[in-house]
């Protein structure tokens, strides 16, 4: 394992020499065809561009805004800034003008890069409150003539920076490489502002060694090989996608940039035939829903065949896991008994399983390009029914876990031995503790708050020493997540400790497993469980209006607008049945974990309002917005 005593650009220089003629990135051209950029060509372009960054006044220690979605210019700016010893402060284009204003001002940015004029307008509308900002660099200058540029603000284009770099490079071609060698692994590489569920976003300071720590420890988990392709569909400014991009680059893979939209992502998979896909649970939920929609709208014979083989496959997968020792051991299992119980039915079902793969599931796998090895799912919990579905059809989805504060990857299932219903084992060299509410260290198989310690843990929150001290003590980071470990080293995340609901009878309820189970319903789009200090649990339900509309037509329920179905008695009865069937003793839930009352909401939770950018529910926001509805639940 390579020492972490290096920086991202220092490592990049070595890799660009080692894999000179391989593709580092696959970037779409104007015709939406992927064009390769070789490692050696990227490094040469970077030397010129970085000279231009220096020419516009960026120097070591500067904090520089980076407001853009995935594109080649973003990556060049990221590596260019880090090579100069500057610190990028990234954010996506879906951020509001208030968020961008707060981040650029709080991070003391004098220069910011933006994807287009729409982002520049957000900044210029708040420029009086971003006191230090003097320069804005546009990647796309379309519409620049319409910008109202106040006195003292300079607008440049990406091409302007390149031209300045070309002139500077002629005079000093070794400038960038000299600057790169000055870097230290202990330096801050980036400040990533978390969306947060409360208050203003916090700036997470991450070092070069935090990202390289993961690069050097990922191989035992994922069989990543030089020359393979990683399809990237998530925002690169998120710590998860950024870490995956670094892993891809430093292990010699090509990163192909797409979008998490079915009509874009699926054709792109057919074009580039990737071995890997970085993803969030929502992507797999969408693929799952699309498959079932297609099957359910087909002929009765096709539908019967699919569900027959799906049922056989689910049973076979469970028996196979039992036989091979892949069932998670939160309590120790007897291998002899598992083998004895599973071997005969496994032998009986295997021919049917193989037939299902040939007749049905191979077509689904082919849509992923034909070379697909695995999807890596992060950014939230992968629902168990989605996990089971893809395991059954023979598509590997490896759930991982991490936090922005850990840059972020702490764990991921091993592709050689993926244990379902877990996020896999921690990466090597990460210390951990599972702490109870009274501060005791819990043994294996018992839940508690997860604390971790490693080189990848953040330096702290920028300008927030008190908030840093709340979760980071003596190198130990309190993740705030409830975890339980298996006897073979894997673990499962049960929810956030601050989300734990304490009922009036003293029962502690983790809402996330209940919500995940109820999200299995075709009729539920989003759900939030409530009940703090109450006698029982309630729920706010966002329905899947498309599915309800289909059902209403089938049942001949009259309505003018599908939103009217929210108040329909039949729909309420349906929801009650769904809740009772999914959350009961048979599915592993205790009596006090069941939902007794619910309200169906007329509109979906929105990103930036009720949900964070990473699709986590802002529970405190929802509770405030729907406080009257919640009161009604518990009258």
| SS3 per residue for 567-619 | HCHHHHHHHHHHHHHHCCHHHCCCHHHCEEEEEECCCCCCECCCECCCCCECH
Beta strands in 436-522 (DSSP E): 448-453, 460-461, 472-473, 476-485, 491-496, 501-502, 508-509
Say which CATH number the domain at 462 has. 2.30.38.10
The yes-or-no verdict on residue 489 having pLDDT over 80 is yes
Question: Do 190 and 302 fall into the same domain?
Answer: no
Find the domain containing 444 and state its range. Answer: 282-497
Answer yes or no: is 64 within a domain.
yes
Q: How many structural domains does the chain have?
A: 3
Residue 154 pairs in a beta bridge with 135
For residue 148, give the 3-state DSSP assignment: coil
Which residue, chain included where needed, has tokens 């998860």? 240
Pairing of strands 276-279, 374-377: parallel
The yes-or-no verdict on residue 159 having pLDDT over 90 is yes
Say which CATH number the domain at 572 has. 3.30.300.30
Q: Looking at 426-440, 527-541, 597-611, which range is the least confident one? A: 597-611
Answer yes or no: is 253 within a domain.
no
Question: Do 454 and 553 fall into the same domain?
Answer: no
Closest to 367 (Cα-Cα) out of 305, 274, 459, 297: 274
User: What pLDDT was estimated at residue 221?
Assistant: 98
- Cα–Cα distances (Å) from 572 to 180, 569, 633, in that order, read 63, 5, 14
Answer yes or no: is 223 within a domain.
no
> pLDDT band at residue 198, thresholds of 50, 70 and 90?
low
- Among 206, 221, 248, the domain-final residue is 206
Q: In this structure, what token pair is assigned to residue 474?
A: 């003596």
What would the mean pLDDT of 191-215 be, rounded to a whole number? Answer: 88
Closest to 629 (Cα-Cα) out of 595, 600, 593: 600
What would the mean pLDDT of 486-491 be, rounded to a whole number? Answer: 97
Helix 39-55 × helix 8-18 angle, to 10°: 150
Pairing of strands 154-157, 135-138: parallel
Closest to 84 (Cα-Cα) out of 104, 110, 124, 57: 57
What would the mean pLDDT of 546-575 be, rounded to a whole number? Answer: 84
User: What pLDDT was estimated at residue 230?
Assistant: 98
- Among 497, 518, 539, the domain-final residue is 497
Q: What is the mean pLDDT of the chain?
A: 93
Q: What is the pTM of this model?
A: 0.87
Question: Do 367 and 433 fall into the same domain?
Answer: yes
Say which CATH number the domain at 99 has. 3.40.50.12780
Closest to 158 (Cα-Cα) out of 139, 136, 179: 139
What would the mean pLDDT of 274-289 be, rounded to a whole number? Answer: 91
Q: What is the pLDDT of residues 343-399, one digit of tens each?
A: 999 999 999 999 999 999 999 989 999 999 999 999 888 888 999 999 999 999 999
Q: What is the pLDDT of residues 415-460, one digit of tens each?
A: 999 999 999 999 999 999 999 988 999 999 999 999 999 999 999 9
> pLDDT band at residue 613, thresholds of 50, 70 and 90?
low
- Among 451, 470, 497, the domain-final residue is 497
- The Cα diameter of the chain in Å comes to 80
The yes-or-no verdict on residue 2 having pLDDT over 60 is no
Q: How far apart are the first and last CA of the chain?
A: 61
């Amino acid at each position: 394992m390579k020492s972490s005593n290096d920086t991202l650009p220092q490592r990049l220089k070595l890799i660009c020499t080692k894999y000179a003629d391989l593709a580092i990135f696959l970037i779409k051209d104007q015709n939406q065809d992927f064009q390769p950029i070789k490692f050696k060509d990227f490094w040469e372009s970077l030397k010129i561009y970085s000279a231009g960054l220096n020419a516009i006044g960026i120097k070591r220690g500067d904090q520089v805004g980076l407001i853009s979605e995935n594109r080649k210019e973003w990556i060049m700016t990221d590596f260019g800034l880090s090579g100069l010893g500057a610190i990028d402060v990234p954010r996506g284009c879906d951020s509001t003008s208030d968020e961008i204003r707060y981040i650029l001002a709080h991070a003391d940015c004098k220069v910011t890069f933006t994807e287009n004029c729409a982002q520049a307008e957000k900044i210029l509308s708040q420029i009086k409150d971003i006191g230090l900002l003097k320069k804005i660099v546009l990647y796309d200058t379309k519409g620049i003539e319409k910008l109202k540029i106040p006195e003292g603000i300079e607008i440049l284009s990406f091409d302007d920076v390149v031209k300045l770099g070309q002139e500077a490079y002629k005079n000093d071609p070794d400038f960038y490489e000299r600057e790169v060698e000055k870097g230290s692994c202990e330096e801050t590489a980036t400040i990533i502002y978390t969306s947060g569920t409360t208050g203003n976003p916090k700036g997470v300071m991450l070092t070069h060694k935090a990202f390289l720590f993961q690069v050097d420890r990922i191989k035992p988990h994922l069989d990543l090989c030089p020359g393979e392709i990683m399809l990237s569909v998530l925002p690169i400014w998120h710590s998860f996608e950024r870490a995956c991009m670094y892993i891809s680059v430093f292990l010699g893979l090509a990163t192909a940039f797409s979008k998490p939209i079915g009509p874009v992502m699926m054709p792109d998979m057919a074009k580039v035939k990737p071995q890997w896909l970085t993803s969030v649970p929502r992507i797999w939920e969408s693929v799952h829903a699309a498959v079932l929609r297609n099957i359910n709208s087909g002929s009765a014979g096709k539908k019967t065949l699919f569900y027959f083989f799906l049922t056989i496959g689910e049973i076979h997968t469970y028996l196979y896991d039992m036989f091979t020792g892949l069932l998670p051991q939160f309590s120790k299992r007897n291998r002899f008994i598992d083998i004895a119980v599973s071997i005969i039915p496994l032998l009986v079902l295997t021919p049917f399983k193989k037939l299902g793969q040939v007749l049905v599931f191979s077509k689904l796998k082919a849509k992923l390009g034909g070379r697909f090895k695995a999807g890596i799912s992060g950014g939230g919990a992968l629902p168990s029914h989605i996990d089971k579905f893809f395991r059954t059809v023979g598509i590997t989805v490896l759930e991982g876990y991490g936090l922005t504060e850990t840059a972020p990857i702490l764990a991921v299932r091993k592709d050689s031995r993926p244990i379902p219903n877990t996020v896999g084992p921690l990466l090597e060299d990460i210390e951990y503790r599972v702490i109870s509410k009274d501060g005791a260290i819990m043994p294996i198989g018992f839940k508690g708050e997860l604390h971790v310690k490693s080189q990848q843990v953040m330096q702290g929150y920028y300008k927030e020493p008190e908030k840093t001290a709340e979760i980071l003590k003596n190198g130990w980071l309190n993740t705030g997540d409830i975890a339980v470990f298996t006897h073979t080293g894997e673990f499962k995340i049960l929810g956030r400790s601050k989300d734990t609901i304490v009922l009036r009878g003293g029962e502690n309820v983790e809402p996330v497993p209940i919500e995940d189970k109820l999200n299995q319903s075709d009729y539920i789009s989003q759900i939030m469980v409530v009940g703090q200090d109450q006698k029982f649990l309630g729920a706010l339900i966002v329905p899947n209006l498309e599915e309800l509309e289909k059902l209403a037509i089938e049942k001949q329920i009259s309505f003018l607008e599908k939103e009217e179905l929210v108040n329909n008695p039949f729909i309420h009865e349906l929801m009650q049945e769904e809740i009772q069937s999914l959350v009961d003793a048979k599915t592993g839930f205790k009596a006090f974990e069941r939902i007794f009352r619910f309200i169906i909401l007329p509109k979906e939770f929105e990103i930036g309002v009720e949900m964070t950018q990473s699709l986590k529910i802002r529970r405190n926001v929802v509770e405030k917005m729907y406080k009257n509805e919640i009161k009604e639940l518990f009258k």
